[in-house]
Amino acid sequence: GAGVSQSPSNKVTEKGKDVELRCDPISGHTALYWYRQSLGQGLEFLIYFQGNSAPDKSGLPSDRFSAERTGGSVSTLTIQRTQQEDSAVYLCASSTGASSAETQYFGPGTRLLVL
Amino acid sequence: GDSVTQMEGPVTLSEEAFLTINCTYTATGYPSLFWYVQYPGEGLQLLLKATKADDKGSNKGFEATYRKETTSFHLEKGSVQVSDSAVYFCALYSGGGADGLTFGKGTHLIIQP
């Protein structure tokens, strides 16, 4: 079956513009996660959805970041007024959500470059 | 909070050498432990996992044992190949519903023929 897909694969934008990143999880996976991978910070967790609900948004780096999930499937991560420090690879993962031992399956990521 | 510490490398070995990548963790409760691998140009993929103390995860000749007494999950392989060259990430998940994986900074492994 299909894995986690993300779009776009690459995005170059100018500082101050808004960007929207999309994640399509594996069909039937109720849990969805966003991470950011950057040279300076390594892999950091941003936000988690169980169904359409995100219980804790404190992992988002600033109030310029927001995320939503609709229909228990597709999720979008929006970054408003992008800054150069937002340049990173944004990874999405999904799992069945049944327990903490469940494997998270990662998408290929969106590489964001803010000029 | 939770944290994972691993050697960052790069670690350079010759083909058929023995590999150990150390990983230690700090966590509340009893986390599940994972090793993820990122091959050049590819996404993160699960290599192996262990969900409770003394469990051994294994895959593709790699092994790691969940040691609660030393809070460690060291990755080992008896004979590495050039194709094992990649970045390896140790990670933990404490659950609780609100948090994601906590990753180490990754170890870049280079295997020379």
Nearest-CB residue to B43 (from A44, A99, A106): A106
Contact B100 A33 (CB under 8 A): yes
The reply to whether residue B97 touches residue A50, judged by beta carbons under 8 angstroms, is yes
Residues of B in contact with A106 (CB under 8 A): 36, 43-45
User: Could you tell me which chain B residue has the CA closest to the CA of A34?
Assistant: B100
Whether the predicted pLDDT of B78 surpasses 70: yes
Chain A contact for B69 (CB, 8 A cutoff): no
Residues 42-71, chain A, touching B (beta carbon < 8 A): 42-48, 50, 55-56, 59
The pLDDT > 90 percentage for chain A reads: 74
pLDDT confidence of residue B98? 56
By three-state DSSP, how is residue B34 classified? strand
**If you write DSSP's letter for every residue of A28-84 in order, what string do you get?**
T--EEEEEEEETTTEEEEEEEEETTB-S--TTSSSTTEEEEE-TTS-EEEEESS--G
| Residue among B44, B45, B98 minimizing CB distance to A48 | B98
Question: Does position B64 have pLDDT exceeding 70, yes or no?
Answer: yes
Answer whether A3's CB lies under 8 Å from A71's CB. Answer: no
Q: What is the mean pLDDT of chain B?
A: 93
Taking the C-alpha atoms of residue B102 and residue B92, their distance in angstroms, rounded to an integer, is 5
In this predicted structure, the answer to whether residue A41 has a pLDDT above a threshold of 80 is no
* Residues whose CB falls within 8 Å of the CB of residue A83, separated by 6 or more in sequence, listed in order: A15, A64, A114
Chain A residues whose beta carbon lies within 8 Å of the beta carbon of residue B98: 48, 55-56
Alpha-carbon gap, residue A32 to B100, rounded angstroms: 9
pLDDT bin (cut points 50, 70, 90) of residue A102 is confident
- Asked whether the beta carbons of B85 and B109 are under 8 A apart, the reply is yes
Task: Count chain A–chain B contacts defined by CB atoms under 8 A.
Answer: 62
Band (pLDDT 50/70/90 cuts) for residue B97 is: low
Between A40 and A106, where is the model more confident? A106
Nearby residues of B88 by Cβ (< 8 Å), 6 or more positions away = B6, B21, B35, B36, B37, B38, B47, B75, B106, B107, B109
